[in-house]
Structure 1
Amino acid sequence: MQGRVVRTPLIRSESLSRRFGCEAWLKLETLQPIGAFKLRGATFAMSKLTDEQRQRGVVTCSTGNHGRAIAYAGSKLGVNTIICLSRLVPANKVAAIRALGADVRIIGNSQDEAEVEALRLVEEQGMTYLPPFDHPDIIAGQGTIGLEILEDLPQVNTIFAGLSGGGLLGGIGIAVKSVNPAVELIGVTMDRGAAMVASLEAGRPVQVTEYESFADSLGGGIGLTNRYSFEVVRRVMDQSYLVSEDAIARAMVHFAEQEKMLVEGAAVVGVAAIEQHHLDVRGQQVVFVVSGHNVALDTLDQARVIATASLG
């Protein structure tokens, strides 16, 4: 991965440290070449392809950022890629994937429906399927974030990360807890269409309805035949929280106005969770994984309107 993936900085947030009474740190995955952490897993997985697999090409489904990561890695490695997306994927993310030369297929109204098309291409064309999260190499690649956090902040107490299919949180959890099991790992997602949370509550992978959200990157199912990420998350995650669209919007506006960062909703759910659920992190060393910045300006404008209205 060296030379293809950025070792991102961990910077202290003065505003969040004051606001929450802790030492707040931001892991800036926004600085990856594609603007999101997904490049780590995609790059690691694609680097392990055989020559035959590279010739046949790679297919995936995505809510946006993983597809962009696969397309980017494919362009660097000379591998043809097909990215299957649902109609819920924002137009700016679709355009960014196409700009990297990938063949984009828009299928259905959910990631699960897009996955059906991806798996059909595997059967018919012999392509290699690299899923967004449920793959050992994808999970391992995302786990390098955890290793970097420990190198930069060995005394970390709590890590907040977005919770979707579990690749990000699972990878970080494996890496961090293998070194320091006492670190608390908290997963956060939107309060509608939260597939992993619903699956954990049911004790098995379940399907949920997908909805539009400021945290669109956290949408999508985890797959009814999930083999890896469900069990990993169940093992390493200490707590999970659901957050409202209002709370996500307020956190996005905070990052824009106080941190001077344009980030997507999925990147701020940890901050939203502390605010909405009045979590006590005083005196702790807290890391927020700022997972991506692939958001359209009009989405931030919408967030600003909702944030203002929610504050009365």
Structure 2
Amino acid sequence: MQQVHNQTITLQDVWKAKSTISAIIHKTPLIYSKALSEKAGAEIYLKYEHIHDSGAFKMRGAVNAIYQLTEEQKKHGVTTFSTGNHGFAVALAAKKLGIRAVICVSKHVPQAKFEKIKGLGAELEIYGDGQDDAEQRCYELQKEQGLTLIPPFDHPSVISGQGTIALEILEDLPSVHSVIGGLSGGGLLSGVGLVMKNTNPSIQVFGVSMEKGAAMYESLKAGKPVVVSEHETLADSLLGGIGDENKYTFSMVNQYVDQSVLVNEETIKKGMAYLYKEHKIVVEGAAAVGIGAIIDNIISLKENTKNVVIISGNNVDLTSHLNAIKAYI
């Protein structure tokens, strides 16, 4: 069997990450979805990544990256500019390991997020009008205070950490035919794709994004990283650019993801409602895009195949969740 390799990140790196994070990150369940399987005409399994302490899969990459720090780096602490799932993950991982964390946010970030980050013991730097300003503040903190930046996705240790999801899938379902996950900056599907394609190149990897503001999708179409406008969406965790100087995820997604598709807001609502109705779980919009894509036949699966949908996170306001699903319950 021909192996697929990436020059920088290897399958061995993912196995090392699995060992590294095992003290903090516990294996998540793989749940068979009877109703969705009957609808799709294929076996559908759900990978419950929303049950991590931080509420999302991002804990894997954050823990792995922080564990790679030298003793000197640990003394100074870490910083990141994500205010979503990665920001929560870095704050929580740093708290568990007794390391200082500074999360940079713009002044437009909701107060509720401020309180959640502070509740995890992290420091807040409120700076500028947008995510780019917050990112710039991280680089300033690197120079001023010696903090180590833990990027949200375009980082070898983060990608390797997310790839441990695929190792668990293969352990529980070695005959898997495809994996479906949300596609944003690409950290998740870079890691998952690396593992799956090196295990068996015929395993398919599908990426799903929202219709407007899908930076990786548009970048793949253009053949280079591009900037897109952000729009209000239920899948807000999938917003954000991939970076003009993307070093890893753009090329890895291009290599490992077989197909990337877009879903509209109604399809996302259907996915959220389905998971609540059939599995009694509350998830954010980004975690429901794959389910919606199957329900609305945006992704077609071959009969009698075994397919996994990654349920990525549950960090959603309950009022927003109720408003999204009420038309389908």
TM-score range (shorter-chain normalised) is over 0.9
Give 2:316's aligned residue: 295
From the superposition, tell whether residues 201 and 188 of structure 1 become closer, same or farther in structure 2 (CA, over 3 Å): same
Report if aligned partners of 1:63, 1:219 keep a CA contact under 8 Å in 2: no
Residue 212 (structure 1) shift = 2.3
Report if aligned partners of 2:39, 2:295 keep a CA contact under 8 Å in 1: no
In the alignment, the residues of structure 1 paired with residue 38 and residue 128 of structure 2 have an alpha-carbon distance, to the nearest angstrom, of: 45
Give 1:101's aligned residue: 121
In the alignment, the residues of structure 2 paired with residue 42 and residue 52 of structure 1 have an alpha-carbon distance, to the nearest angstrom, of: 18
Q: Which moved more, 1:295-304 or 1:273-282?
A: 273-282
Which AA in structure 1 matches 2:295? E
Which AA in structure 2 matches 1:149? I
Which AA in structure 2 matches 1:300? H
Give 2:5's aligned residue: none
Sequence identity (%): 48
From the superposition, tell whether residues 189 and 113 of structure 1 become closer, same or farther in structure 2 (CA, over 3 Å): farther
In the alignment, the residues of structure 1 paired with residue 113 and residue 175 of structure 2 have an alpha-carbon distance, to the nearest angstrom, of: 36
Residue 95 (structure 1) shift = 2.9
How many pairs were matched up? Answer: 308
Report if aligned partners of 1:64, 1:94 keep a CA contact under 8 Å in 2: no
Report if aligned partners of 1:112, 1:223 keep a CA contact under 8 Å in 2: no
From the superposition, tell whether residues 295 and 121 of structure 1 become closer, same or farther in structure 2 (CA, over 3 Å): same
In the alignment, the residues of structure 2 paired with residue 151 and residue 89 of structure 1 have an alpha-carbon distance, to the nearest angstrom, of: 39
From the superposition, tell whether residues 107 and 303 of structure 1 become closer, same or farther in structure 2 (CA, over 3 Å): farther
From the superposition, tell whether residues 83 and 187 of structure 1 become closer, same or farther in structure 2 (CA, over 3 Å): same
Of the three residues 81, 97, 101, the one matched with 1:77 is 97
- 2:290 partner SS: helix
1:124-135 matches, within 5 Å, as 124-135=144-155
Do residues 37 (structure 1) and 57 (structure 2) align? yes
- 2:25 partner SS: coil
In the alignment, the residues of structure 1 paired with residue 108 and residue 39 of structure 2 have an alpha-carbon distance, to the nearest angstrom, of: 34
In the alignment, the residues of structure 2 paired with residue 292 and residue 105 of structure 1 have an alpha-carbon distance, to the nearest angstrom, of: 25
Give 1:25's aligned residue: 45
1:47-66 matches, within 5 Å, as 47-66=67-86
Residue 83 (structure 1) shift = 1.1
In the alignment, the residues of structure 2 paired with residue 283 and residue 89 of structure 1 have an alpha-carbon distance, to the nearest angstrom, of: 45
Of the three residues 208, 211, 223, the one matched with 1:191 is 211
Report if aligned partners of 2:181, 2:290 keep a CA contact under 8 Å in 1: yes
How well do the aligned residues superpose, as a CA RMSD in angstroms?
A: 1.8
Give 2:9's aligned residue: none
Residue 109 (structure 1) shift = 5.3
Do residues 140 (structure 1) and 129 (structure 2) align? no
Do residues 243 (structure 1) and 273 (structure 2) align? no
- 1:74 partner SS: helix
Report if aligned partners of 2:284, 2:315 keep a CA contact under 8 Å in 1: yes
In the alignment, the residues of structure 1 paired with residue 77 and residue 267 of structure 2 have an alpha-carbon distance, to the nearest angstrom, of: 41
Do residues 224 (structure 1) and 244 (structure 2) align? yes
In the alignment, the residues of structure 1 paired with residue 23 and residue 146 of structure 2 have an alpha-carbon distance, to the nearest angstrom, of: 30
In the alignment, the residues of structure 1 paired with residue 109 and residue 40 of structure 2 have an alpha-carbon distance, to the nearest angstrom, of: 33
Report if aligned partners of 1:65, 1:93 keep a CA contact under 8 Å in 2: no
Which AA in structure 1 matches 2:306? Q
Which AA in structure 1 matches 2:317? A
In the alignment, the residues of structure 2 paired with residue 128 and residue 278 of structure 1 have an alpha-carbon distance, to the nearest angstrom, of: 41
Q: Structure 2: 5+ residue runs without aligned partners?
A: 1-20
Give 1:280's aligned residue: 300
Q: Which moved more, 1:108-117 or 1:241-250?
A: 108-117
Report if aligned partners of 2:83, 2:103 keep a CA contact under 8 Å in 1: no
Which AA in structure 1 matches 2:44? A
Give 1:16's aligned residue: 36
Give 1:271's aligned residue: 291
Q: Deviations over 1:132-183 (max 9, x none)?
A: 0000000000000011111110111111011010100100011111111111
In the alignment, the residues of structure 2 paired with residue 163 and residue 88 of structure 1 have an alpha-carbon distance, to the nearest angstrom, of: 24
Q: Which moved more, 1:123-132 or 1:145-154?
A: 123-132
Q: Structure 1: 5+ residue runs without aligned partners?
A: none
Report if aligned partners of 2:56, 2:312 keep a CA contact under 8 Å in 1: yes
Which AA in structure 1 matches 2:150? L
Q: Deviations over 1:192-220 (max 9, x none)?
A: 11111111111111111222211111111
- 1:27 partner SS: strand
Which AA in structure 2 matches 1:290? I
Which AA in structure 2 matches 1:78? G
Do residues 7 (structure 1) and 27 (structure 2) align? yes
Of the three residues 246, 253, 256, the one matched with 1:233 is 253
Report if aligned partners of 2:83, 2:104 keep a CA contact under 8 Å in 1: no
In the alignment, the residues of structure 1 paired with residue 81 and residue 75 of structure 2 have an alpha-carbon distance, to the nearest angstrom, of: 19
Which AA in structure 2 matches 1:67? G
TM-score (norm 2): 0.89
Report if aligned partners of 1:187, 1:240 keep a CA contact under 8 Å in 2: yes
Report if aligned partners of 1:58, 1:81 keep a CA contact under 8 Å in 2: yes
Which AA in structure 2 matches 1:294? N
